[in-house]
A and B are shown apart, each in its own frame.
Chain A
Amino acid sequence: MTWPELTDLLMVGLRETAWMVGASTVLTAVGGLLLGVLLVLTAPGGMLAAPAVSSVLGLVVNVARSLPFIILLVAVIPFTRAVVGTTIGTDAAIVPLTIGAIPFFARIVEAALREVPPDVVAAATAMGATRRQIVGKVLLREARPGLIAGLTITVIALVGYSAMAGVVGGGGLGDLAIRYGYQRFDTQVMIATVVVLIVFVQLVQMAGDLVVRRLSHR
């Protein structure tokens, strides 16, 4: 394989991975934040304590997290068809990626919000803050460094999951490594793909760390 051929392959794979990971990250951030906040609010002793809701949410999250991603990918195919109209391709891969990552990120959000000292929440309550203000201006804002660090972990997990997107024809760098590197014994493509993945993950982590450092004033 010539260099131009290789770089073309890598560029296509990189673009597909970036799109899959980027889109599912945005959706996961929104969904995971919502779910994580709900987990904290409905927990016993929480601001909207609702034991039944809390246990159902917890169960759903645990079930979703128990499924190996490759199984989830296949299991949600009917849902994927309903949402994007097709079950193959990069867009179709975004649905299972998001469904897989939301419970993962939600648990991270939950843990980050619990790190906010109860004292601080009590102080805001004593000032007469509304529940909306407490969630927005105290919990989420105080937990920002933890949330960003958690999102970074989630993005990197998504890069890993997205390697399996090849199963539904999603493409991406992982798929490239499997098809060319593993199935065709093309060591050159394998190494090149792995290098690109390492650099990609490294950049994501560095960007995440930078933002966390900027936000953290503890």
Chain B
Amino acid sequence: MIEIQGLRKTYRAKGRRDRAVVAVDGVDLSVSEGDVFGVLGQSGAGKSTLLRCVNMLERPDEGTVSVGGVELTALNRRRLRVARHGIGMIHQHFALLSSRTVAGNVAFALEVTGVPRAERRARVAELLELVGLGGRADAYPAQLSGGQKQRVGIARALAARPKVLLSDEATSALDPETTDSILRLLLDLNARLGLTILLITHEMNVVKRICHSAAVMRDGRFVESGAITNLLHRGDSELVRGLFPLDAPTELPGHTVVDVTVSGEQTDAPLLAELSRRFEIDVRILGGSVESLAATRAGRWRLALPDGSDAALAFLRERGALVTVPQPPLRLEPAPVSLTANQEAAS
């Protein structure tokens, strides 16, 4: 549904060629129809620029962007405008018109897409019902809570019956409870309307709750990306480390310490009990958790087994568990870099 190839976008400070900032540095991305794809990264990782390139709010310097089979990078202004009707977008700070009521904000999207006046009223009511705001049609945005404002944003984004929804940190300005209710709404829309969702976030919780696929972005590049069920089988996945945080690795004399990741059916199987019984070893759990992700159920533990339990580790692998040496916790921020002469002079 969304195909991005070789996307690159550089910002240049005015008149300072040497101060160019590479926001997106060669990103390939493919989001299939009906998927919920999350791009996770710290602020400054380039994820916002990436998202704004999908509907051409920012023109990429290089690369192609296609949505629903239409190559947006090749369109002129007028045809791009029409193509944008098929791509909804929601924003961190809601971006509602303060001078219009809730109904007026949704109607605005219909006016823009050229829906005749006579049809607007019914469609507005239908959309507000869809997002659970039926009773607030005549309120102004300033009278609403953050969660209600985002619901208006969602209703507005869906006005033109788009196939794709772009979400720019849509829950980052909301408290945890409201975040949950908005995420539930997005999941519901994904299921009921078959809406394809591409979202960017710095909150691991968002990926956990609604994403089927995800990418980790750092310094303008995707460090990893794919279906979460696949990432769970990759020993080096940063995303998995982020979803199931463990402390920094520690040694335990006389023991082998390993990280074990399980997913799917194995998650709730009595794996550790069986391990203990079958090999007659004492298994210690040093940390870990089991979670219901949107993609699947999965868990990750740090176990300490007595030295020489190789057969036990082989058994775990045989049962589909991923066994790795303990890894440090995930750090999303870029590794510290030495200051260039330029920056030193400035500071």
Interchain CB contact under 8 A, A128 and B95: no
Contact of B95 among A119, A217, A218 (CB under 8 A): A119
Give chain B residues whose Cβ lies under 8 Å from the Cβ of A133.
111-112
A59 on the interface (CB 8 Å rule)? Answer: no
Chief secondary structure at chain A's binding surface:
helix
Number of chain B residues whose Cβ lies closer than 8 Å to a Cβ of chain A: 30
Per-residue B-contact encoding for A179-218, CB less than 8 Å = 1, 0 else: 0000000000000000000000000000000000001011
Contact of A124 among B82, B98, B112 (CB under 8 A): B112
Interchain CB contact under 8 A, A127 and B95: no
Interchain CB contact under 8 A, B112 and A128: yes
Interchain CB contact under 8 A, B97 and A127: no
Interchain CB contact under 8 A, B112 and A126: no
- Taking A128-B82, A217-B140 as contacts, is the C-beta distance between A141 and B112 under 8 angstroms? no
Interchain CB contact under 8 A, B97 and A138: yes
B346 on the interface (CB 8 Å rule)? Answer: no
- Taking A126-B55, A217-B141, A217-B142 as contacts, is the C-beta distance between A120 and B112 under 8 angstroms? no
B residues 298-320 near A (Cβ < 8 Å) are none
Give chain B residues whose Cβ lies under 8 Å from the Cβ of A120.
95-97
Query: Chain A residue with minimal CB distance to B166?
Result: A126
B255 on the interface (CB 8 Å rule)? Answer: no
Chain A's interface size range is 20 to 34
Query: Counting chain B CB atoms within 10 Å of each CB, which of A117, A217, A218 scores highest?
Result: A217
- Taking A125-B57, A128-B84 as contacts, is the C-beta distance between A142 and B99 under 8 angstroms? yes
Name the distance in Å between B69's Cβ and chain A's nearest Cβ.
18
Extra 5 A-B pairs, beta carbons < 8 Å, given A119-B91, A125-B84, A128-B81: A126-B57, A128-B82, A133-B112, A137-B111, A144-B99
Q: List 29 A-B contacts (CB under 8 A).
A: A117-B93, A117-B95, A119-B91, A119-B95, A120-B95, A120-B97, A122-B95, A123-B91, A124-B108, A124-B112, A126-B55, A126-B57, A126-B84, A126-B166, A127-B84, A127-B89, A127-B109, A127-B112, A127-B159, A127-B160, A128-B81, A128-B83, A128-B160, A129-B81, A130-B112, A137-B111, A141-B100, A144-B99, A215-B99
